[in-house]
Chain A
């Protein structure tokens, strides 16, 4: 039998590309002749040349069958002539081989299913076959993403619709992660992370990416409902690898590479621009004084000094040292000085695993080293992971899973923020680059950008996470099991720093040492009873949970100053004379804390004929952080599934699979942190004469009524697979309504507090997630798969306080508008010109070189009361990513394109400090400025940035679209063929890969990376290239 290629009705984008390949035959059939009654032997492997154990080999039309052994080998006595062998195994496409002529041993390659609907998905306190799911769950198999990643969040980018990753530019830095839009105004957006079935409060950087088998993303309320209170922001379930039956496996991965800046570098003024700006600053002051006389023509207009005269320019510089350097033509590029050339990244890990009938084990170790592109920014990580499961008796299994990670972030990185503002004319001895001043040119605004690198710092984070579990398959009652698991996370961080007297922080009082130990611990236990049974056409699956957890810790900062002898730094604090203890964080007085949670959950899943399925879940959660009368919340959910393609009316033998899913559920959000309902007192040191005294004052207002934020949502989804899943995917639409929204609401100044945690109003979210996976070409030589992910989300505030004037300008919250609405003056584009002034067209007090704003109420003045409006939204319009994997013979190319798009006023962010030279009043004269846009002068025709001196009565933020398309990942790999491996002996798989990350970005965002969190980013995005090796013995 010969398989035929079929045109795939994929989205237009794919179709075009796909069309090119459609002519090609996809599958090369094997023709084998068999002698009558002969024995056929052979081996079955997967596409990566791994032998497959347990493949059923059946002679078609007979009951004659065998299975392959651990090495994938089989031997079958064939009866009759022209027999056909059928090879089938779970997770692989069934293949038929017609026997004509024998060329034994037979080599059979089985293709994995693109989307295996029988794969087992983790649904929280249990697993379920994907085909039985009623909620919206996506699995990300890391095997499919052949890119070396140090951090798991990087690995997730573009992986699933609705999963949003925001990059971080520091070595070992955690990217931020969110799922499906904002449900909350100010409570946390972080999804819940579950590691091997246990809620994980550690950092994703604690996990070695290569230990992860797959990640399941629970997106809708019903899927997430099992995690109730924690799941309003979605759930990410990480499952680590475990041993597989067969010979023990040893596998080794190694990657080495380099990183540098992306293609959007930082632009700051060079010496010439820096110096001339000073001339213009003062010239424009004069000019504005003249403008204020309301001239009607150029007569009497001050003349710009001659900037070609270096003496004139030099005279305007602030310090003698800058004047001398300017005249001598000395110049230094500070951004260049803080960047590290050839920053390297390396990542090595090894694992061994195996399984026998009773025991299953997996153990791994890894080392990762990463250098950031800022000097002295580095990261080192060691992880150890072991997982053992044993089946002690027929009814009892025990397991232990231990994860340990050691992360070392030691060293303070050079400051890009300071480099951006540092004077290019400051004295700097290039021959001895270690010589430096605390403040360049004695200017307090210009700390030496390399200053932090002179501090001694050790920042080491240890995380130990273990889970012990016991599973009892209750005898006498078939299908009833009881699971108990207990987990503990110990986190300890030491972060010690010594700033010598020569740098900022240390220069105040003869050096400063700080020790900031932080330790916390979490325990959770879960009791799970589940019942799983099939009665004829009926499948029943029930789960009951009772769980408790406690999370507690302590931290503080011990600061010692006044070192008479700095030699021993933070290791001998007795050398210092002034000892103070300060709270660890801004607004976080917690030096010792604990929080507790209790959960009950019941879930029942029922299926009829594997066609109709219903899942109901009720969860009741208690969290200590809410007010005394509102600790508990009850969250129900129900979901329905219908596999349409299993219906008798559907065409028999169709290659189409369709399932409809409908769910309704409630989730809660507790992401406000502990003690939020309490009013809190703060303390500070004070002194009467020279007697130290403690002062006490309220610094946070409490809200004892603080209660759960609840989100109710409806999700309608369809899963489909066409042509035996060559095109598969899912489409999910959802509506969500959040009530009692937790907000950190700003208060009017007269209240005496900045803000208060409150529950207010309601918020609506709606959106669409689309995922498509297609196998465009499938043949033994060439294979091309495409994975497209698209998501769009809209939210709006449905209700605020309920008053008649229901908007909150101060917080930028408006009923009927998205949470991310931006309220400001409307820029009309362009600047006032001298012609406008002379003709009297400017408003009173407005002059050339200032932005034009819309006068909304037409009173010829621009004021905050009447002339602001919603000018856009910070949220994205939509996101998409396209991953392509092209395999030819032993080569494989993977390209991931990732994009977040604005348009129509979406995805805006203020970029004022970067695009406009007049960053903040006269700061423009005190420090270097960015040079993304030239500033206005009366004669240079610039129409998108103000003058360098600009005394506008009001200024708006300058919103720019952050839309971008990025080549996120490219990797090219080569897998060594079996022949070659045989000769090398003992190696079952060997792969080399070359990959790049953040390869190229297209964006109109001015300067720097559109995705890096802050417009004023103090660290750049990184681009890297690395070479990797994967070896399995």
Chain B
């Protein structure tokens, strides 16, 4: 019927054109109809659209902070580099990877720009979605459903602002969708951002589903919102509120630390334990894993929508590059693929030594519990590497650089920072090199990644208790975490903020964002100077002003209708 109309109309048009008339309206003819994309006005007019909008936020987080095609290291740097627990191993004195604070943290740095732009991109996506859900027709959603969707979106907004406030201090708090060329942003005091985060998360904890009732694995629950709220309180040193929020997570939703072995147990590196099970392929999303609060979703590229993370690439040593055995044979055969040895081992993957632990995280924190703490088990921190070189007399022997003749011209810095160093195996994905065996997956891994885990909630609460002076209670929370790993219980006398920071390094190395932790506890500069033993630049040249990062020059330049003051020192 409609088609016929169009045809008739078209014929009329043609006729009228031939007759030089303009019977069929030019305006109709010029109407621009998008054929293959949705616009904000119609994108969220269906439940499917709203669901896809929520997925858009999850996608953004995964893409911008857990993988990211562009400047993929953005998502890994702030986990550990430039702090007390790691330095860049491949080239410790380069101008990248926070090897040197003064050179790296500049207003023109593309990394600084990304740390600014990415959270704001997420904020914009949230704001537009919230607007869309709020305006969605009443017939589409019950008020509860509407609130649940809004709650999940607002969780992401708070998550984004937590990044911005921690890095940059006073930042514009944008809560409305921007639909014009806005160039007069004003820096709001941090208190405004904190208040917004509290509001958003208070809404979120009210309307989000309980853990276990979320629609899909990886979706946001009340537990995740309370966990983030705890952190937001800690950032403001609101310890009482932090304790309350953390206690909700710990008590209300059936979470518990895993203490018995579970899931798949590949045991590639020898005898496993429950801590290694937490990081085994496929175990993060399991219903039985009661420790997961929020898990970022990965899947091999054989599944559409799958993506990989680069934890293996970032954290693993570049062992395959180390060269020869002391008797001059290639040190690693690697796997046999298509009739040729690749030089890579599929249990170690292809690391590039971006993130090499400091002495603190690799050695000091384990002292006293070296053999009993399962987090330091040989299969969790691989300290010994072995030649794989049948032609060599050293085949199967442990790699020991003291065995090389001086004529081998070995460079101790590269040997111990780039090629071989204690490797936190939780970032490895042994035997799951599903992509491109010939290059051991290029360091990509398809293992799901914890964004939030209950062990951290305990340590959040301990941090709050320390802030409140309740050291016994802090000790108990810390010991809850320690006892699962068979570490000796801490005594009250030992408990202070430094002990807590050490414990976080033991439990959460590379999982949390160490920069945020050190900044909110006021320990960044002190501990970087004290513990960052980058052999070529100890202390990373950190200055007192580095507690705040510079505002990217682009933001200053483009915000033409409002002058900003750069953060001090830059």
Binding site for B on A (CB under 8 A): 285, 288-289, 292, 311-312, 314-316, 318-320, 323, 438-439, 442, 444, 484, 501-502, 507-509, 525, 527, 529, 546, 548, 561-562, 577-580, 589-598, 622-625, 631-632, 674-675, 677-698, 701-703, 745-753, 756, 758, 801, 803, 805, 807-811, 845, 863-865, 921-922, 925, 949-954
Contact = CB atoms under 8 A, between A and B. Distances in A.
B123 A561 contact: no
Contacts of B216: 688-689, 691, 693
B62 A750 contact: no
B102 to A, nearest CB: 6
A285 B439 contact: no
5 contacts: A444-B442, A624-B31, A675-B32, A678-B34, A684-B59
Interface in B135-185: 171-172, 174, 178-183, 185
Contacts of A484: 18
Nearest to A312: B409
Interface stretch (B370-378, B453-461, B516-524, B552-560): B552-560
Contact of B32 (A577, A625, A807, A949): A625
Interface stretch (B229-237, B298-306, B466-474): B298-306
Contacts of B553: 864-865
B302 A745 contact: no
Nearest to A284: B93
A747 B39 CA distance: 20
Contacts of A502: 438
Contacts of B174: 750, 752
Contacts of A758: 181
A285 B535 CA distance: 12
Contacts of B408: 315
Contacts, number: 302
Nearest to A925: B91
Contacts of A438: 438-439
A835 B215 CA distance: 68
Interface string B39-59: 111010000010011011111
A698 B124 contact: yes
A561 B303 CA distance: 11
A515 to B, nearest CB: 17
Contacts of A749: 113, 116-117, 120, 552, 554-555, 558
Given A561-B301, A695-B59, A701-B179, A675 B34 contact: yes
Nearest to A555: B36
B103 interface: yes
Given A598-B29, A752-B121, A578 B301 contact: yes
Given A508-B301, A750-B559, A622 B26 contact: yes
Contacts of B107: 863-865
Interface string B1-41: 00000000000000001101010001101111111111111
Contacts of A548: 17, 29
Contacts of A527: 17-18, 20
Interface string B291-335: 000000111011111110000000000001101100000100000
B96 A922 contact: yes
A790 B497 CA distance: 75
Contacts of B55: 686, 688, 693-696
B56 A695 contact: yes
B124 A751 contact: yes
A731 B526 CA distance: 72
A438 B219 CA distance: 38
B106 A748 contact: no
A508 B95 CA distance: 30
Given A864-B107, A922-B91, 7 more contacts: A289-B536, A509-B436, A678-B37, A680-B37, A688-B297, A752-B120, A809-B560
B482 interface: no
A951 B104 CA distance: 9
Q: Count chain A CB atoms within 10 A of each CB in B49, B181, B570 and give the residue with the most.
A: B181
A546 B20 contact: yes
**Overall SS of chain A's interface:** mixed
A697 B116 contact: no
B120 A751 contact: yes
A595 B32 CA distance: 7
Contact of A509 (B35, B302, B321, B541): B302
Contacts of B476: none
B369 interface: no
B271 interface: no
A949 to B, nearest CB: 8
A686 B96 contact: no
Nearest to B217: A689
A631 B40 contact: no
A893 to B, nearest CB: 53
Contacts of A288: 93
- The DSSP consensus for interface residues of chain B is loop
B491 interface: no
A316 B411 contact: yes
B128 interface: yes
B82 interface: no
A750 B108 contact: no
Contacts of A677: 32
Contacts of A688: 55, 216-219, 297
Nearest to B41: A679
B483 interface: no
B397 interface: no
B168 to A, nearest CB: 10
A57 to B, nearest CB: 47
B264 interface: no
A761 to B, nearest CB: 12
Contacts of A624: 30-32
B383 to A, nearest CB: 23
Nearest to B284: A689
Contacts of B299: 687, 689-690
- Shortest Cβ-Cβ A-B pairs, 3 listed: A752-B124, A315-B409, A810-B558
Contacts of A805: 560-561
Contact of B323 (A319, A591, A622): A319
A323 B58 CA distance: 46
A315 B285 CA distance: 46
B343 A865 contact: no
Contact of B320 (A442, A509, A679, A702): A442
B94 A922 contact: yes
Given A285-B93, A507-B439, A687 B43 contact: no
Interface in B61-109: 62-63, 91, 93-96, 100, 102-103, 106-108
B39 A702 contact: yes
B410 interface: yes
B325 to A, nearest CB: 10
Nearest to B118: A749
Contact of A622 (B30, B34, B49, B172): B30
B37 to A, nearest CB: 5
Contacts of B94: 921-922, 925
Nearest to A556: B36
Given A697-B125, A748-B554, A678 B301 contact: no
A951 B30 contact: no
Contacts of B58: 686, 695
B191 interface: no
B259 interface: no
B52 A598 contact: no
A679 B536 contact: no
Contact of A508 (B40, B172, B435): B435
Given A701-B178, A747-B183, A810 B96 contact: no
Nearest to B554: A810
Nearest to A693: B55
B98 to A, nearest CB: 12
Contacts of B62: 686
A801 B103 contact: no
B407 interface: yes
B195 interface: no
A925 B560 CA distance: 39
Contacts of A953: 102-103, 106
